[in-house]
């Protein structure tokens, strides 16, 4: 019986680091998936076009954000908080933290919040400068204008 026990202990000790690593990877993946929200809060069936001035461009993970000042009713400006893809995804499309600057005038199609609040989801392909030029040229992955 002691021979069996020593073999089992030896096998268990050799497998323990691999099992702990696998458990740690699994735990990290589960918490990430559980923490990520759904895009159901956005009305994807009724996109709207906004024309405004960039107040802030947050190039960060897990999502990028554009804070856009838009003229609303009675010429009162409204700040729209727009959520986009991750900074990593945008980099693959040629975007950088300098792609949009405070003061840039843009035309952007967004999927608005279902709640009616001034916010929504934006995608890189649906953002242009007011003169119609792309923020990033697709062929070169370079900043436009």
The model's pLDDT over 44-79, given as tens digits with 9 standing for 90+, comes to 999 999 999 999 999 999 999 999 999 987 879 999
Contact 136, 104 (CB under 8 A): no
105: Cβ–Cβ under 8 A, 6 or more apart, which residues? 51, 52, 53, 54, 129, 130
Asked if 116 and 52 sit in the same domain, the reply is: yes
Mind listing the pLDDT tens digit for each residue in 78-125?
999 999 999 999 999 899 999 999 999 999 999 999 999 999 999 999
Q: Containing domain of residue 32, as a range?
A: 1-36
Q: pTM to 2 decimals?
A: 0.69
Looking at residue 101, the DSSP 8-state letter turns out to be -
Which H/E stretch holds residue 55?
A: strand 48-58
> How distant is the alpha carbon of residue 140 from its chain centre?
22
Label residue 40 by pLDDT band (50, 70, 90).
Answer: confident
Cα separation, 9 vs 90, in Å, equals: 50
Asked if 19 and 62 sit in the same domain, the reply is: no
Asked if 88 and 50 sit in the same domain, the reply is: yes
* 21, pLDDT greater than 50: yes
């Amino acid at each position: 019986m002691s021979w069996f026990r020593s073999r089992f202990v030896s096998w268990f000790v050799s497998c323990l680091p691999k099992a702990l690593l696998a458990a740690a990877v699994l735990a990290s993946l589960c918490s990430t998936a559980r923490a990520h929200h759904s895009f159901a809060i956005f009305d994807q069936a009724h996109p709207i076009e906004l024309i405004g001035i960039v107040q802030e461009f947050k190039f960060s993970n897990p999502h990028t954000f554009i804070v856009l000042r838009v003229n609303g009713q009675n010429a009162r400006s409204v700040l729209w908080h727009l959520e986009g893809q991750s900074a990593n995804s945008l980099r693959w499309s040629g975007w950088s933290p300098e792609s949009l600057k405070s003061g840039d005038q843009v035309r952007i199609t967004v999927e608005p919040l279902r709640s009616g609040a001034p916010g929504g989801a934006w995608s890189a392909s649906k953002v242009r400068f007011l003169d119609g030029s792309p923020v990033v040229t697709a062929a070169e992955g370079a900043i436009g204008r």
